[in-house]
Amino acid sequence: MSSREAQALANEAGVDLVEIVATANPPVVKIIDWGKYQYQQMKEASKAKKKAKTSELKQIRFGLKISDHDLGIKFRKVREFLDDGDRVKITIVFRGREMAHKEIGTALAKKVIEMASEYSIPDSQPQMAGRNLSFILRAKK
């Protein structure tokens, strides 16, 4: 239908003629109430925003002398974070003279990565930053 006929129909109905696809030949237009259309688009966008899960970065700190039981308890929390879809930054803290034994911290980091290997992937390798050894884990898809 010609654009004049479409515009006349829209004026008769008291609504707007809205161009939907401008790149098509001929362009696609709809006869709709513009205010109602905008309201529906806004509602759909807000629903999509509510459903979208934003991935947060959670942080867990381990001491170098952590016992196996305490490691298990903290590791359960790491697993909960990963199950929720969050990334987890694990920081191993060196205190005092513990800096002389970086190999113990590296071994602990490898142990944590191995414990989490069935449901997570390391995003970054363990690296020293001051008195902390840290790395990031993310959940497997």
Cα separation, 66 vs 77, whole angstroms: 15
124 neighbors 137 (Cβ within 8 angstroms): no
pTM: 0.61
Query: What pLDDT, on the 0 to 100 scale, is given for residue 50?
Result: 82
pLDDT band at 69; cut points 50, 70, 90:
very high
92-107 pLDDT per residue, tens:
999 988 888 888 999 9
Domains, the chain, in order of start with CATH, read: 3-51 (3.10.20.80), 57-139 (3.30.110.10)
Cβ neighbours, 10 Å, residue 19: 11
